[in-house]
């Protein structure tokens, strides 16, 4: 499976100040579509992961690093 699909948000090149809007819109649209698992590519930046996980708290969710690539967070929506 390629990471560039509708269930993946790539944050490379996104400024920290713009992350909330991107992640909020991404998750919100998938909640409406009853998606099960999403992936957010943060890269290896600890600050980007921290920002994303802070947003996920609002949804009562948690991002977990994938086993094969710690620069990708997997989020279960169910």
8-31 pLDDT, tens per residue?
Answer: 999 999 999 999 999 999 999 999
Q: Looking at the predicted structure, is the pLDDT value of residue 40 above 90? A: yes
Per-residue 3-state assignment (H helix, E strand, C coil) for the chain: CCCCCCCEEECCCCCHHHHHHHHHHHHHHHHHCCCCEEEEECCCCHHHHHHHHHHHHHCCCCEEECCCCCCEEEEECC
pLDDT at 2 over 70: no
pTM of the full structure: 0.90
Mean pLDDT confidence for 50-63: 95
pLDDT, residue 1, reads 45
């Amino acid at each position: 499976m390629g990471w560039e699909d509708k269930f993946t948000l790539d944050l490379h090149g996104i400024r920290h100040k713009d992350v909330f809007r991107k992640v909020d819109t991404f998750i919100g649209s998938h909640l409406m579509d009853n998606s099960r698992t999403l992936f957010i590519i943060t890269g290896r930046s600890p600050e980007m992961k921290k920002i994303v996980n802070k947003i996920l708290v609002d949804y009562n969710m948690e991002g977990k690093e994938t086993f094969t690539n710690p620069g990708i967070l997997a989020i279960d929506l169910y």
